Amino acid sequence: MTDSLTRAKDDEAAGLYFRRGELLAHNNLHELAAEDYRHSWELHPDEATGFRYASTLSIIGQTDRAIQLLKACEQKFPDNPSFPSMLGDLYEQSGKMKEALDIYDGLLSKDTGNFEAWYEKGLLLEKNRDTARALLALSKAYGLQPVNTYGLELAHLFAENRNPAALSICDGILRKDSTHELLDPLFIKGIYYSNITQYKKAIVQFDSCISRDWKFTDAYLEKGIALFEQKQLDSAMSTFFMTIKVSNTYPDGYFWVGRCYEATGHKDQAILYYRQALALDRDFTEAADRIKKLQ
């Protein structure tokens, strides 16, 4: 292909550079691929090349160049929503939340039925802790495109805010689950019940998760916390030990075993498990604080 490039001109050369870039990218040689995409773009700036070039610049950490390229692509191909969508993602990754929101608002001003833009806007607002607007955007996305991904994100946010609408969304998704394999709707229902301190109902949901997948670590953890809150410390500890059995690198499991030991007056054992949690996650400040408290 290199020999062909020396003889090729303009559009033909652009196509050859693009194909070589694809081969290089397929083999994870992204820096080299970016150069070939650049040559192809300069010779023949079409939509496919612009998208691949911008994606590759993002992969190799050249975010600013990718953003500038995507802005140019937006101007050149105003009817292609892929470019503003990627630009919004890059703004979000760069911490430029206002710019990202402006992108999604721009997409929605052109098409209020753009469910992907509503969903991405909802996720961004959720990350910004703007719960009311996040719920509005996610509800809009789910209303336009009632797929499980959108529904579960919306239900989870409702559950975290103690809104019973979480239950109706999850029940609707479960009714369509003919294989009885979905875990997330059951788990979200459990989170809702835990958040409103109906721990017995929460445990029923977490047990349902575990019956479908005995390695569902988060279900054991949340069940254990529900038991702990009810002062059923022996049962809670047994459940937390299951999190460690399922995943021995799960810091929260060790932390909560420590909480059980601390609650039953076994200070040395508690410190041992807090230290293990901290060894697995150096940023586990609550574990560090409890070690200081007990020493």
Tally of structural domains, the chain: 1
Give the pLDDT confidence of 189-218 residue by residue, as tens digits: 999 999 999 999 999 999 999 999 999 999
- The three state secondary structure string of 86-142 is HHHHHHHHCCCHHHHHHHHHHHHHHCCCCHHHHHHHHHHHHHCCCHHHHHHHHHHHH
Q: Is residue 291 part of a domain?
A: yes
Give the pLDDT confidence of 243-294 residue by residue, as tens digits: 999 999 999 999 999 999 999 999 999 999 999 999 999 999 999 999 999 9
CATH of residue 269's domain is 1.25.40.10
Q: Is residue 80 part of a domain?
A: no
Give the pLDDT confidence of 45-97 residue by residue, as tens digits: 999 999 999 999 999 999 999 999 999 999 999 888 889 989 998 998 888 99
Q: Is residue 148 part of a domain?
A: no
Q: Is residue 288 part of a domain?
A: yes
Average pLDDT over residues 126-144: 97
C-alpha dist (Å) from residue 240 to 32, 197, 236, 286: 48, 19, 6, 17
The answer, as to whether pTM is greater than 0.85, is: no
Q: Is the pLDDT of residue 221 over 60?
A: yes
Q: Is residue 62 part of a domain?
A: no
Give the pLDDT confidence of 35-44 residue by residue, as tens digits: 999 999 999 9
Q: Is residue 189 part of a domain?
A: no
Residue 294 CA to residue 166 CA, distance in Å, equals 39
Q: Is residue 294 part of a domain?
A: yes
b (16+ CB within 10 A) / e for 218-237? bbbbbbbbbbbeeebeebbb
Q: Is residue 239 part of a domain?
A: yes
Place of tokens 């911008």: 54
Structural domain harbouring 253: 214-295
pLDDT at residue number 94? 87
The angle formed by the CA atoms of residues 140, 142 and 148, to the nearest 5 degrees, is 165
Query: Chain centroid to CA 132: how far?
Result: 20
Residue 29 CA to residue 21 CA, distance in Å, equals 9
